[in-house]
Structures are given as structure tokens and as C-alpha cells.
Amino acid sequence: MTITNILGLICIFVGLSLLGPIKLAFITSSRKVFSVLASILVFNKHVSTHKIAGIALVIIGMALENMTSRKVKREEEKFTGGTLKNQQNDHKNERKEK
């Protein structure tokens, strides 16, 4: 049990460093929702209407968050003239030319 906890924490910290806190929170939240859905489907559990509504609200909220974050990212790229990575590459290329 301890080894799996350690491996889980390592995955969380690696994900945090690679993806950032917002994307990692989104991934961990979606994992929980899909675990609940999988358990409902696999074990044929009866789910009441208000629980189905709650699951639907979570999925809709996650979809809206994903859509708005993409829209904000596109608007930032328009405003700044490209992605941050492209700007960094341009800056490196300018330094090499000098």
C-alpha cells in the first residue's frame, strides 16, 4: 500500500510540474467523475435522478471550463502575437543572429 501511495504522489508532482496546477486539478476531477460513471456501468448500480443530475452538472461544468480556457488562450495568443513558446523561440533566434 505504501509503494502505491508513493507512486501516486510522484505522478501528482510530475503532473504538476509538467502541466501546471489548473490542468492537473481538471484531470484529477475528471478522473473521479469517470470512475463513478464506470462503477455505475460495470456494477449496474441504480442511480437516482438527482444523482444523475449532479453527475451531468459536473460534466457540463468541466466541458464549459475546457471551452472557456481554450477561448481565453486563443485570445491571449491574438493579443500577444503568438504563443509564449513561439515568442521564446523568436527571442532565441534573434540572439543567435546578433
What is residue 93's predicted lDDT score, i.e. its pLDDT?
A: 57
Domain ranges of the chain: 21-97
The whole-number pLDDT of residue 84 equals: 55
For residue 30, the model assigns a pLDDT of 85
Q: Which three cell numbers stand for residue 54?
A: 449532479
Helix axes 21-43, 49-80, angle to 10 degrees: 150
pTM: predicted TM-score of the whole model, two decimal places:
0.57
Mean pLDDT on 26-53: 89
Task: Evaluate if residue 89 carries a pLDDT over 80.
Answer: no
